[in-house]
Amino acid sequence: MPTPPADTTPVLVAHALRKTFGGAAVVDGVSFQVGRGEIVGLLGPNGAGKTTTINMILGVLAPTSGTIRVEGVDVATRRCAALERTNFAAVYAPLPGNLSVAQNLRVFGLMYGVRDLAGRIEALLRELDLVRFRDTKCGVLSSGEQTRVSLAKAMLNDPRLLLLDEPTASLDPATAQDVRARIRAFAARGSGGVLWTSHNMLEVQEVCDRVLFLSRGRILLEGDPRTLPREHGRATLEDLFIAVAREPLALERA
């Protein structure tokens, strides 16, 4: 029997996204894709439009115009079906502190309809070195421990689109390295993709296949993080990030 062709549908397609507040465009005509097996970095200085873009992908904010599809499912018209394929972790979105680690994972697992939820929770507790915190309330965990719990929550439903905002913030170097390896392994399976935001340019260069630099709500630059700096006369990705923050018009004209 011949092997069925691999699904090449992008896990995320954002087209002509625009979001205005009080007449001012915070996101202004942003279009991009995340392919299967791909880790894409969404970069830019504070206020560039990254969080607004992520909130539109999650359906928290409705775009003023434009479309978002997750595995071909329109977020605007079939939000629940799109979110079944999505998950998210961010340092600014902590889990309820009055629930234990296991309770939090169970609540979110039930929301996502995870099969064999008990087994999935046990596997994630082991993988992320959280077994000893199973019955500990999340509110008393260290910031690094809370980050690992948030990542476990984000992996519960084996999402097709994984949104990670500063996923290794507050982690020690060894744990951060392990988390990066797990995310790369997730992408390498080829069924899902990752949209990753970070201010750690060394990490971005190590992890991401492609980066998008946002500036004033628009995509200013796009490319391979290992070669993009040289293409714009900068020595490192951090130098390029600083240029995007300080000299966006010069880069746009280049």
**Domain positions in the chain:** 90-158
Rg (CA), the chain: 19
Strand, coil or helix: 188: helix
Q: β-strand 161-165 against 193-197: which pairing, if any?
A: parallel
pLDDT (mean) for 86-97: 88
> If DSSP codes are grouped into helix, strand and coil, which group holds residue 247?
coil
- pLDDT band for position 6 (50/70/90)? low
HSE-CB for 242 with a 13 A CA cutoff: 7
Confidence of residue 249 (pLDDT cuts 50, 70, 90): confident
**Is residue 24 a contact partner of residue 15, using CB atoms and an 8 Å limit?**
no
Lowest-confidence pick of 115-119, 134-138, 157-161, 186-190 = 186-190
Q: How far apart are CA 250 and CA 28, in angstroms?
A: 19
**Alpha-carbon torsion (123, 126, 131, 134), positive or negative:** negative
Are residues 196 and 167 in contact, defined by beta-carbon separation less than 8 angstroms? yes
Residue 156 structure tokens: 């519960």
List beta partners, residue 34: 12
Give the predicted TM-score (pTM) of the model.
0.90
- 8 Å CB contact between 128 and 152: yes
Token pair listed for 238: 């951090």
d(CA 182, CA 179): 5
Q: Is the pLDDT of residue 5 over 80?
A: no
